[in-house]
Structure 1
């Protein structure tokens, strides 16, 4: 077991290297997480992609607390995107999206907005995310922009689909905000630029 190269296992789990992941390698990843040893991020990937829903409780131990700031994003992604447990963790996602005091977890939750809104309606949170995108002082604007492009399948309609030159405001953002605001039934739109509101 100790001779297992977990980084290589993670590459195979992601489909970036050829070959299957064995049950022994998955169990090795579990043990890494139980013992909090080196290779935690690779172990989370392996467990998310090759584990089962019974691994959720182990992955949950990497969600909370300062000691998990580096790992929370990966654990949340493994639980929601890879193990498809978004329904179970939706209340947590919702809380983290709005938690401005914790940038690590807030960004992680916003990155999973597509999973959050899949077959689920939450206009209140949708409107909140539109307001984030319209607030030039909010550090999560870029993450929300990317999330909305994915949710509403807007890439083909944008000049800069990945937001590589994303700044304050442009025609792409006008379209993204318009689509999102309409979808979430947002009646009043306020754009905050510095200390000015329009």
Structure 2
């Protein structure tokens, strides 16, 4: 029934998997029972092939594990190098941001200093302009006084010259009048009078 398999009596109807002559030979064991010989390939029976396959599989597994370890080790080294690079990049970025803030503060300070210097320069320029205006006004006043003094001196000189000319003219006119009205006797009497007054 059910699970029983029937073995065909002729071998021509079976597909040949390992068709060897030895597989068809019936061998009797110690008790006289007939057994079939195991099929062989290259002189090895199936359990030997299974053992070899297991050994090859284990070798592949061990080699794969070593390769896996070397690959994992290489990947770990790469990951560590990348992490180190990232840490270094973070550190460099922090330093760059610190430098940027430092220079931004310096620039802000420089701008404040420049504004203060500009204010000082404006105040100094205003002071210089005011002083120049005062000096110019004082110089103009001095020049006006000098011009007035020169004009007054010229007027005095002109008056003195005029008086001297007037005195010379009156002296000359007096001399002419005296000559015309006085003679030598009148001159002698006048001179005696002046001498007596001294």
TM-score relative to the length of structure 2: 0.18
Q: Whose relative contact order is higher, 1 or 2, with alpha carbons under 8 Å and at least 6 apart?
A: 1
Greater helix content: 2
TM-score relative to the length of structure 1: 0.18
